Homo-oligomer: A and B are copies of this chain.
Amino acid sequence: MKSFNDILSIVNASLEKLRWEKDPKGLYAPVEYTLGLGGKRIRPALTLMACNLFNVDLEPAIKPALGLEVFHNFTLLHDDIMDKADIRRGKPTVHKHWNENTAILSGDVMQILAYMLLSEAPQQHLKKVLDVFSKTAVEVCEGQQYDMEFESRDEVQPEEYLQMIRLKTAVLLGCALKIGAIIGGASEDDAHNLYEFGINMGLAFQLKDDLLDVYGDEATFGKKVGGDILCNKQTYLLIHAKGLAEGATKLKLQSWLTDVQTTPEMKIQGVTLIYNQLGVKKICEDAMTVHYEKAIAFLEKVSVIPFKKQELRKLAENLMFRND
């Protein structure tokens, strides 16, 4: 069994070997730039770890694993255009560094490059791998659509929010694990249980993200705390706060969401105070715990000895109890 760090080294070394230093530079330079920005590389790592549960040979899973990372980065690239985001991982986004047309077209080519890498899955598993991937890729687009729609809606139900983050974030983690399992030769049941482990881990992961944005420690979090509050992002916290607030608190929350006169610091402080009064931090933590425990339960069902699953369990723990 390989440790998470061993797996990550394989991912990084393999990703390093993929170069797109081709012409036209205007198309490929942004691809190199985007993939060079770093990131946790969680998705390809999950693919290799899942494969490793059933097989010592990881080689056949490497290219498909990288395909998932390329796909993930493609979605970030296009999402950044749609969200008009200027900064990604501390650097200018592609549409800022170059321009919007470049960002659209380089994203398009990345999606194809992702499929090229996925298509390197062993012949006997190819159709299954592609089916899982395409279904997931479509869902990720649906998630982004819902996310955008929510921003212009006044009221969003917590269940709708969970469904949105399931599509936008969780399914790709489930897919990464399932593809690794398939290539590793897992049974249908095991592949399914790993998929559900990923889904629930993904949900917990995103809820943790919502929490960190408000309650994170800026020094370790790596980005400014309160970003979601400043742009009125419909997070699990805000959605619940809107649903629970009554009377004066409701009016106060409403005024923080619409007041443009205030300073950023005051708004963050004010909204956080309301969150604390309404107890939405605990609601979010509880939901996170529910999904974290569901994830672990699915992992336990996977029919390999517990020792082999230690690394995945540790990874889930680390993601859940991380501070960044």
Chain A residues engaging chain B, CB cutoff 8 angstroms: 23-24, 26-27, 78, 81-82, 101, 104-105, 107-109, 111-113, 115-116, 119, 123, 126-127, 130-131, 134, 137-138, 141-142, 144-146, 148-149
Contact = CB atoms under 8 A, between A and B. Distances in A.
A142 to B, nearest CB: 6
A168 to B, nearest CB: 12
What is the count of identical protomers in the complex?
Answer: 2
B78 A108 contact: yes
Contact of A111 (B111, B130, B144, B149): B111
A131 B119 contact: yes
A148 B100 CA distance: 12
A149 B78 contact: no
Contacts of A108: 78, 107-108, 111, 141
B109 A141 contact: yes
Nearest to A137: B112
A109 B24 CA distance: 25
A27 B119 contact: no
A262 B77 CA distance: 41
B78 A104 contact: yes
B24 A142 contact: yes
Q: Which 9 A-B pairs have the closest CB atoms?
A: A27-B145, A109-B141, A82-B101, A112-B137, A24-B145, A116-B134, A119-B130, A112-B138, A26-B145
A50 B212 CA distance: 57
A124 to B, nearest CB: 9
Contacts of A112: 111, 134, 137-138, 141
A109 B138 contact: yes
Contact of A27 (B23, B101, B130, B141): B141
A208 to B, nearest CB: 26
Contacts of A27: 141-142, 145
A82 B104 contact: yes
Contacts of A82: 101, 104-105
Given A81-B101, A105-B141, 8 more contacts: A27-B145, A78-B104, A78-B105, A101-B148, A109-B138, A113-B138, A115-B115, A126-B126
Nearest to A130: B119
B149 A24 contact: yes
Contacts of A26: 145, 148-149
A36 to B, nearest CB: 20
A189 to B, nearest CB: 23
Nearest to A120: B127
A147 to B, nearest CB: 10
A182 B27 CA distance: 30
A115 B134 contact: yes
Contacts of A119: 127, 130-131, 134
A105 B24 contact: no
